[in-house]
Amino acid sequence: MSRTTELAICFADICDSTALFEEYGDDKAREIVGQVLDVISEVIREYNGTVVKTIGDEVMGTFPDLIAATSAVTKFPQALQQEKKLAALGIEIRVGMCHGSVVQEDDGDVYGDAVNTASRLVDWARPEQVVTTAGTLEPLPDFFESRTRNLGETVLRGKEEPVEIVELLGEQSGSNLTVVESRDPEPAQQQERNVLSLRYGDDTITVEQGPFMLGRGSKSDLRISDSRVSRMHAVIERQRDSFMITDSSTNGTYVQIGDEEVMFLHREQLRLHGTGHLSLGRHVEADDAQLLRFECKTIS
């Protein structure tokens, strides 16, 4: 027997789990994957959700209440960081959530467009991102707005129409990130624009907008091969006329701007200005090859 009902659906996926098997072997990697999925499953149950199934390195859950679902999925990364042994491994996850009408079987399994959308969203998300659709969030109270970031429209696999995607930041992240207020566009004749120049080794990269991902994971825009660097270590993105760096790593990011003292960021955000350098995961000397040197400048 089956019935139609309204549910929030979530998928949480371990990023680059293949690397775990390559590094630790089958038995140890399966143990690690199981521990990660157990932590996520516990959060699902804590928020009155149901763990429908685990598939390889992914867990699927449902929630009868949308507010509870939204709160739960933003806790997944935090819950993993609180497990010291897992946090030390630098494991990252990505999460997709959608709410809508589904067909639910007696065994709890669910089918329907909301399920398919949630599955496509987790494939679309970057490491450490929790994403949903703008339509999913419409019924929520206004205070949830401060904990979201609109990522624009995209066409998901299997969908004909574009979907507006929103990142869920969680309570702590939402309070730390700058809220970008809507404003009238600049006059068309203003052609100068701010850019961020990044130099790493012999490579120089110009960032105009972002998000620009730094880390050792395969999906990073600038990949840094160092075990102390998290797979998705930090992100640089433009907010109004400034470039902000947000650390999301295990070991933190060291930042020196001009002649100022070196600052240590750990899951915090900082505005970059002038010139300086970044060091991911460890504090190094100014002539070290692992330094990322940056310059904020205006070009025409």
Provide the b/e sequence for 204-242 (b: ≥16 CB within 10 Å). Answer: eeebeebbbbbbbbeebebebeeebbbbbbbbbbbeeee
CB 207 within 8 A of CB 295: no
Q: What are phi and psi of 77, to 5 degrees?
A: -60, -40
Instruction: Classify domain 193-299 at the CATH topology level.
Output: Tumour Suppressor Smad4 (2.60.200)
CA-based nearest residue to 269, from 253, 288, 257, 281: 253
How far are the Cα atoms of 145, 195, 263, 283 from residue 255, in angstroms, in the given order? 30, 18, 5, 9
Q: Which long-range contacts (CB under 8 A, 24 or more apart) does 266-273 make?
A: 267/172, 267/173, 267/176, 268/176, 269/176, 269/177, 269/178, 269/244, 269/245, 270/244, 270/245, 271/242, 271/243, 271/244, 272/196, 272/236, 272/242, 272/243, 272/244, 272/245, 272/296, 273/242
pLDDT the model gives residue 4: 93
CATH of domain 2-175: 3.30.70.1230
128: left (phi over 0), alpha (psi -120 to 50) or beta: left
pLDDT the model gives residue 286: 60
> Residue 154: which H helix or E strand, with range?
strand 148-154
User: Across residues 30-49, what is the average pLDDT?
Assistant: 94
The one-character DSSP state at 169 is -
pLDDT the model gives residue 284: 75
Question: Of the segments 173-177, 194-198, 213-217, 264-268, which one has the largest average pLDDT value?
Answer: 194-198
Q: Residue 175 pLDDT > 80, yes or no?
A: no
Q: Where are the domains of the chain?
A: 2-175, 193-299
Q: What is the pTM of this model?
A: 0.58
pLDDT the model gives residue 177: 37
Q: Using CA atoms, how far apart are residues 209 and 220, in angstroms rounded to an integer?
A: 16
User: Across residues 126-153, what is the average pLDDT?
Assistant: 85
Q: Residue 186 — very low, low, confident or very high, per pLDDT cuts 50/70/90? A: very low
Q: Percentage of residues in the chain with pLDDT exceeding 90?
A: 43
As a whole number, the mean pLDDT across the chain is 85
